[in-house]
Structure 1
Amino acid sequence: MNISTDIWVWVGVVLTFCIYSFLYRDNPFYRFGEHIFVGVANAFTLSFMYHRIIVPIMGRPFVAAWRIAGEEGLKAELFDPRATDANFLVIIPGLIGCLYLARFIKRATWMVRIPIGMFMGYYTGRTVPAYFEGSVFPQMRGTLVTQANFDPAQGGGVMGGIFAIIILVGVIGTLMYFYFSKEHKGVLKWGAQTGIVFVMVGFGASFGFTVMARVSLAIGRFVFLLRDWLGIVT
């Protein structure tokens, strides 16, 4: 056994045991580790936003534009949305973002809806097309059963064709299962029952993947304790 003398390794060990103490019951040690994690995460996020976004994207271009305007006078280039080195317009999103602070002013609380609405609108507008291109359209293409699925020369084969048919049946069955506008009778009933089998298989695979990911994290902690702290394993 070769116990580490690194102070930061010991800090990691103490915090690890604080979090794992929740396996016994909720206690002050767990709450201490939890609060440390939340505080450090928030501090890192604020620091990252300040040094990587606010200062380089908004602060420096605005200060540079102000300096150029003082030395050479106002120019149209300082209001060009495409300019990144010196631009007065960068202050506009900054001021809109400051409206989030209106949440702490009782009479101006309604103003917080402005940045939230703009953010949600922009996020939705960017996400929906990307979701269709990245998920919906590839899923539609993957559902089609073509000759290429059965042709070995095109990367398919017998098993490829069978899997293509299974995917088609699973997609149709799942859609029928979530179709609630009509009572599930006859063909719709059999399709829905088939769909629920695929849904459960998908949920099971997703749950298994989640459990494996959590177990992998636990293994990482145990390796840290046994290797970096105690020096038992190499």
Structure 2
Amino acid sequence: MNHATRRGNATFGVLLVLIGVSIAILNAVAFHPGAGTQWTKRTEHVHTLEDGSDVRWTEHEAVSVKEGREMAALQQDAAPLLSRTAGLWGAAILTLCIFSFLLGDNPLYKAAEAIVVGASAAYWMVIGFWETIVPNLFAGLFPDWTRANFMPKLSAEASVDFLLLIPLALSVLLLLRLAPKIGWISRWPTAFIIGVFCGLRFISSLEADFLSQIGPTIKPLIVMGENGFDLESSFSNIVLVLGTLACLVYFFFSVEHKGAVGKVARSGIWMLMITFGAAFGYTVMGRIALLAGRFEFLFDDWLWLIDPKDAHPAQVFLQTIAPMLT
């Protein structure tokens, strides 16, 4: 790709994002006032500790604009939240930046890709800290300190478990990989983790991926139902059993694939191709569902052009005046 092509792709990508943002602003100002805002319902929580002190926190639950305005009219604690609204606009702009790749590789796409990857890594790091390290490590080694700072509902009967020093030491050794001179020490905990994981997963994988696939292929070729011979089930079982045997013959290389064996092996290839095609089609359907979700996010949550839940004031207004125009 030459310099002129890259420059053109970058220009069209920037124009796509600017046009999308301009349409959203125009829509929010002229057509759907309030579009692009995120309303939340605030709920105050209080938890009393064993020493009599109170721990307070506020929970923000996203609600539709219609619900938020109704709650505000009833003097309930609901209002547009600036941080959620900024997040909504940020997500929409990043989505447009990703879509700009349709016009070619450009800096906006690369920036959005880096932001998404970095945010995902940071998100899972935070989730791992609060859902793994705090309840499993800190709560076991420092129960009183964890109860006072992180987990107020931690049982007062929790005691110190010194066995947790072993995974703590292994975790510290893993971090030594960042030190080039002693990075080789990190191979020990890595080998230990891989060995333990393989041992724990071996039995479950054997049952889930091996035995569970053998069992469904052991089926009767002739199925008798309540009304006698069940043609559909019998045909399905015959195809399943014969297809499985044909695939196994294809992978049996001790006999040359000629004559009858070759024909069976070729039918096994057809079975494999059908299976791979069905799996690929299922994957494509999943990707299309994700794409539809992003379009729904843009046109419903951001622009308010559609409203499956009938919750936006603009949609309610259009439904109100529609009978008057007919």
Give distance in 2, aligned partners of 1:105 and 1:9: 40
Deviation at 1:214, TM superposition (A): 0.6
CA RMSD of superposed structures (Å): 2.4
Q: Tell me if structure 1 keeps the 8 A contact 2:143–2:158.
A: no
One-letter identity of the residue aligned with 1:225 = L
- Pick the aligned partner of 1:222 from 285, 295, 320: 295
Structure 2: where are the runs of 5+ without partners? Answer: 1-30, 38-84, 146-156, 308-326
Deviation at 1:14, TM superposition (A): 0.5
Query: What TM-score, normalized to structure 1?
Result: 0.84
Higher helix share: 1
One-letter identity of the residue aligned with 1:10 = W
Give distance in 2, aligned partners of 1:45 and 1:114: 25
Listed as ranges, the matches of 1:1-234 within 5 Å are 1-2=31-32, 3-5=35-37, 6-64=85-143, 85-146=159-220, 150-153=223-226, 157-234=230-307
| Count of aligned pairs | 217
Deviation at 1:136, TM superposition (A): 1.9
Q: Tell me if structure 1 keeps the 8 A contact 2:248–2:268.
A: yes
Q: Tell me if structure 2 keeps the 8 A contact 1:175–1:195.
A: yes
Question: Secondary structure of 2:184's match?
Answer: helix
Larger Rg computed on CA atoms:
2
Give distance in 2, aligned partners of 1:65 and 1:90: 16
Q: Tell me if structure 2 keeps the 8 A contact 1:4–1:230.
A: yes
One-letter identity of the residue aligned with 1:51 = W
Give distance in 2, aligned partners of 1:65 and 1:229: 45
Give distance in 1, aligned partners of 2:296 and 2:285: 16
Q: 1:185 to 1:223 in 2, by over 3 A?
A: same
Query: What TM-score, normalized to structure 2?
Result: 0.61
Structure 1: where are the runs of 5+ without partners? Answer: 67-82
Deviation at 1:198, TM superposition (A): 0.7
Show the counterpart of 2:40: none
Q: Tell me if structure 2 keeps the 8 A contact 1:58–1:90.
A: yes
Deviation at 1:155, TM superposition (A): 11
Q: Tell me if structure 2 keeps the 8 A contact 1:64–1:87.
A: no
Deviation at 1:154, TM superposition (A): 11
Give distance in 1, aligned partners of 2:230 and 2:176: 62
Deviation at 1:65, TM superposition (A): 9.2
Q: Tell me if structure 1 keeps the 8 A contact 2:247–2:268.
A: yes
